[in-house]
Amino acid sequence: MNILEIKNLHAKVEGKEILKGLSLTVKAGEVHAIMGPNGSGKSTLASILAGRSDYEITDGSVLYKGSDLLALAPEERAQQGVFLAFQYPVEIPGISTTNFLKTAVNEIRKAKGLEPMEAKNFLSMMKEKMKIVEMDSKLTSRSLNEGFSGGEKKRNEIFQMAMLEPSLAILDETDSGLDIDALRIVANGVNQLKNADNAFIVITHYQRLLDYIVPDYVHVLSNGRIVKSGTKALALELEAKGYDWIKDLETA
Amino acid sequence: MSIITGSTQQLFIEQMNLLFHEIKLNKDQLPYISEEAFERFCQSGFPTVRNEEWKYTNTEPFLKRSYSIPDRDNVQLNNDDLSGLLTTFQCHRVVFLNGYFQSQLSVILEDDSSVEITAIKDCLSLYTDMIKTADEILPKDGWKYLNDAFILDGTCIRIKKNNVAKYPVHIIHLTDQNEQALFIQNKNLIIVEQGAQATCIESFYSTALKPVLSNHILHLNIADDGHLTWFKLQQLQDRADGQQTLINYTSASLHKQSRLNIYTLALNGSLIRNNLHIKLCGANSEARLNGFYAPSDKQLIDNHTLVDHAVPNCYSNELYKGIINDNAKAVFNGKILVRKDAQKTNAFQSNKNILLSDNAIVYTKPQLEIFADDVKCSHGATSGQLDDESLFYLQARGISKREAYKMLMLAFAEDITADIQSDELRNWLNRCIEEKIQ
Ligand SMILES: Nc1ncnc2c1ncn2[C@@H]1O[C@H](COP(=O)(O)OP(=O)(O)OP(=O)(O)O)[C@@H](O)[C@H]1O
Ligand SMILES: [Mg+2]
């Protein structure tokens, strides 16, 4: 089954074209890695999928589980199982992670016509998922991401992903700024959540992450398009050769 | 019938003149009347927008109608279910209905000998000097003179030396009237004696269908080592044509090592003007001023504060936050005065505003006047929209835009109540805030 089907996607921000005909199909059970130079449009793609409104879609289509994703509000996408682990998670003073997740879980349940989760069940679910990412329970009672270290913020993203159990998770450079241990923990989290019904898009600059999360496909995004796709071997090649040869491919 | 001409100012003074004559007929029933103060009112009139301190707050539209003094013997309650405004915890309760003390609605808990609650008329002569000093702290303008000319009633609360009040005291100013517009004045005096501690709540609440103009004064006096926590909760729902105007001047004198934490939550009112003037007159005293205002529709909420550092080694910290919606307007004017002798002063001030609509307006003006050289002072003011990034983050987790808005607004507002130690009290206030923000 196709979880995501992007066809010829063109997108502008402030009049400037960032995505220039991007196509990508992701099937259930797959892990796709997206690599590519800074500024090539990776976060733009992730943001568009999550529903950020700053972008103007000028052409192309995105189907999620067979229906138009772009027609949905960000919260509707999340309610239907789309999850973005932010490259730069936002700090929100005055809202605790626990309270935030309780609201999120219950809003998603409401959208599915379910009753709010019982407090007891919610807490045991929190506990269970916190274990997966080895997250300190002290963090969850603090204001959301406020004063969290870079690594703690990323771990919190994966924790949220574990809580919301999405069908399509997009991880935007979740590995940047993580030490080796944290990297392993985050990767373990992903591997534990992975199953035959969901899919992952992992945006990264480092092939190191892909030692832990083994992708089915590796794509290179350059100048707003996917210019090359391959297997994990492509990531190794990029690591060795850099992006210049790809840029050459693009103009060729 | 005479044809009414002249300016709002003239008409208002004339109207007050009539009321004052009427008042004098019943003067035995009132705590006091002062011809001298009334004369001063007539000379100065109410402050108009030409007065720098009232530049953005035009009271004129509210002063054009004719008001009556409420009838002491004929107060009936539209809705005798007061549960909406009562605390969820035990308090001494002092209720004023249309400006008059109501013994049957009030509750003085017997098992607390630390607090003495009396009618203001019985203690005016005891505290003449204290009231005089307090008067000096307030702005000398028409509203103050008018309150000095007469009041309908008031209370005096004394927290006895070295006592910790067992229960909070809840003063309720309730207005309720279906037939005519009312003009109401009260004066309350709170004395925290040496080493005493107390928490008080002052609620302003209206169920009136007709306009009410209230002009209240509160004096707080905290003796050496005394601690007072004061909450003002202004919930003057304006319904039908019942415009609710509140002028509320508060003075506080802080003596040595005393502490005042004051929270002003201005949630509803057609026009609210708060003047909170705090004088740190004893060394090592500390004042914390917290404020939250949330005008909506066409409401106007104006907070003027003055923190007067008169002696060395004192501390003040002020945080006021506002959420302004619809066509509403907010004014924040915070002045810190550090006098020449007040070395080693620490004085901080911050004002933050969220504008929810294109028509919402806030005027914010921090003022520092520093005459000492060894001080730490800071101030800052911001105003803007709710943060889009935060909104998107919440939405991206499945939270509807409406709910996300609410969460962010509550988080912004509840920063003000976050340091309240009593869970019950904090939750109760947060619920009041939440009701407004919905
Ligand atoms: N709101 C915006 N306004 C203007 N330009 C933008 C905006 N958002 C993104 N861009 C531009 O779009 C291009 C793609 O940015 P994007 O963040 O998608 O890159 P990226 O591939 O994620 O880069 P990195 O690897 O550095 O994270 C960049 O040139 C960026 O400056
Ligand atoms: Mg990026």
The residue in chain A having the minimum alpha-carbon distance to the alpha carbon of residue B389 is A90
> Ligand 1 pocket: which of A9, A10, A38, A175 to mutate (most atoms <8 Å of CB)?
A38
Q: B418-428: per-residue pLDDT in tens?
A: 999 999 999 99
pLDDT at A245: 80
The residue in chain A having the minimum alpha-carbon distance to the alpha carbon of residue B411 is A94
Q: Is the pLDDT of residue B3 over 50?
A: no
pLDDT at B2: 42
Q: What is the distance between the terminal CA atoms of chain A, rounded to a whole angstrom?
A: 34
Question: Best of B392, B415, B419, B437 to disrupt the A interface by mutation (most A CBs within 10 Å)?
Answer: B392
In B55-168, which ranges are E strands?
92-97, 100-101, 115-119, 155-159
Nearest C-alpha of chain A: how many angstroms from B405?
Answer: 12
Q: What is the CA radius of gyration of chain A?
A: 18
Closest listed residue to residue A101, CA positions, set A141, A42, A155: A141
Identify whether the C-beta of residue A210 lies closer than 8 Å to the C-beta of residue A194. no
Q: A137-193: per-residue pLDDT in tens?
A: 888 889 999 999 988 999 999 999 999 999 999 999 999 888 888 899 889 989 999
Helix (H, G, I), strand (E, B) or coil at B184: strand
Q: Is the pLDDT of residue B387 over 80?
A: yes
Ligand 2 centroid, distance to A212 Cα (angstroms): 21
Cβ of A95 within 8 Å of Cβ of B407? The answer is yes
pLDDT at B79: 60
Q: How many Å apart are CA B155 and CA B98, to the nearest integer?
A: 14
Per mean pLDDT, which range of A147-151, B5-9, B145-149 is the poorest?
A: B5-9
Q: B157-203: per-residue pLDDT in tens?
A: 999 999 999 999 999 999 988 889 999 999 999 999 999 999 999 99
Residue with tokens 């003067």: B27
Question: Best of B354, B386, B394, B415 to disrupt the A interface by mutation (most A CBs within 10 Å)?
Answer: B394
pLDDT at B286: 98
Q: How many Å apart are CA B275 and CA B94, to the nearest integer?
A: 23
pLDDT at B26: 85
